[in-house]
Amino acid sequence: GGFCMKRYINRMVHALHMKSVMCMLLAAGILLGGIAMVGPAKSGEVDPIVLALTPHVPIRIDSDTGFNATNGVTGGNGTVWAPWVIENLDINGTGNSSCIYIGNTTQHFTIRNCTLHGANATGNACGIELNNADNGSIFNNIITANNKGIYMSVSSYNSISNNSIHSNNNCGIDFATSCHHNNIGNNTISYNGVGVLLWGSDANDLFFNTIDSNELGIEKDANSITMANNTMLNNSILLG
């Protein structure tokens, strides 16, 4: 009788444990129901993409102190382990020189999962402009219908990856001058005037990009440019 009672108690404990586990899994499923999981990102974490973007006015950050909530920053502390985060925004740059401008900064930051479009106030008007800004990650954004997609000057040690950069009037990516040790990887760069323009910017890497249907695929006046495993399709001129 004692043995049977012990088996009965063990079965009840096991059943309660399994019920608890199933409840936890159900709750997790509900929480993740509106989120698509992609990744991994640079540090190995899996980044959520919230399906609905939040409209935001164009952002201008002129120093490290500009990384704040008013400028769309939602997390981080500026270190390599916890960069400032700007994410899940829809920014219409019509009438502005950029959707997101970051200048004169040294702290680490990430711009991810945003749609940036319409910047047209000047010839260099762009989805993202980095000016004297290092240590940034531009990841998983849609950058379209600007005069330029990404425009950088005097900015190094940045990563541009997994973005769709298309239908910008002038350039998809433009390194204007003195942009060194940047990585451009796994982007789709299409239907721009020039796909990638590297001017006076040495020691940059281009890997695993699809550069498709631009008037000019890649134009460069720079040294020590490493290019490998890029797919070049339907560009009127391949290299300039």
Cα angle value 85/86/87 (rounded, 5°)? 110
Q: What is the dihedral of CA 119, 121, 124, 126, to 10 degrees?
A: -10
With bands split at pLDDT 50, 70 and 90, how would you rate the model's confidence at 1? low
> Which residues have a Cβ under 8 Å from the Cβ of 36 and sit 6 or more positions away?
48, 49, 51
Rg (CA), the chain: 23
| Residue 21 φ then ψ, to 5° | -60, -45
Residue 187's SS3 state is coil
Residue of higher predicted confidence among 101 and 6: 101
Provide the pLDDT for residue 36: 37
- The whole-number average pLDDT for the span 187-205 is 96
Residue 155's SS3 state is coil
Quick check: 14 pLDDT over 80? Answer: no
Average pLDDT over the chain reads 84
How far apart are alpha carbons 30 and 189 in whole angstroms? 36
Alpha carbon distances (Å) from 178 to 46, 52, 78, 84, 137: 33, 37, 23, 24, 18
- pTM score: 0.79
With bands split at pLDDT 50, 70 and 90, how would you rate the model's confidence at 52? confident
